[in-house]
Structure 1
C-alpha cells in the first residue's frame, strides 16, 4: 500500500473511529495495527487527548534469518 493510499484510508477511518471513542476516555488501547495507525495520526493534531498504546510490535519485525 502506498503512503498516499494509507493516508486516505486512515483519514476515512478517523471519522468513524472518533464517533466510537468516548470523549471522556482516559486511555485507548488498540490491538489492531491499522487502528493504531489511525490513533497515531489523531493525537498530534489534537483530535483525541486520551493516551493510546499497543501491546507488541513483534508481528512487524523483520526476521534476521
Structure 2
C-alpha cells in the first residue's frame, strides 16, 4: 500500500495512519487455506502442485532441527 500524507499537525498524521491501518486490516484477502486446513482437507493423493508447496515449506520454513 502506498500512502502519502500532507497533514499539517502530528495529530492529523496519526489519524491518517490509523485510517490506513484500519483499511489494510479490513481489506478482503483472497481465501488461503491454513496449513492445518490444507493438510487435512485432501488426505488421499495430493496434487503435484500441493505436494511441491508442502515440500518447499518444509525446506524453507524449518531449516533447523
TM-score category of the 2 structures, normalised to the smaller one: under 0.3
Q: If you compute each CA radius of gyration, which structure gives the higher value, 1 or 2?
A: 2
More helix per residue: 2
More strand per residue: 1
TM-score (norm 1): 0.28
TM-score (norm 2): 0.28
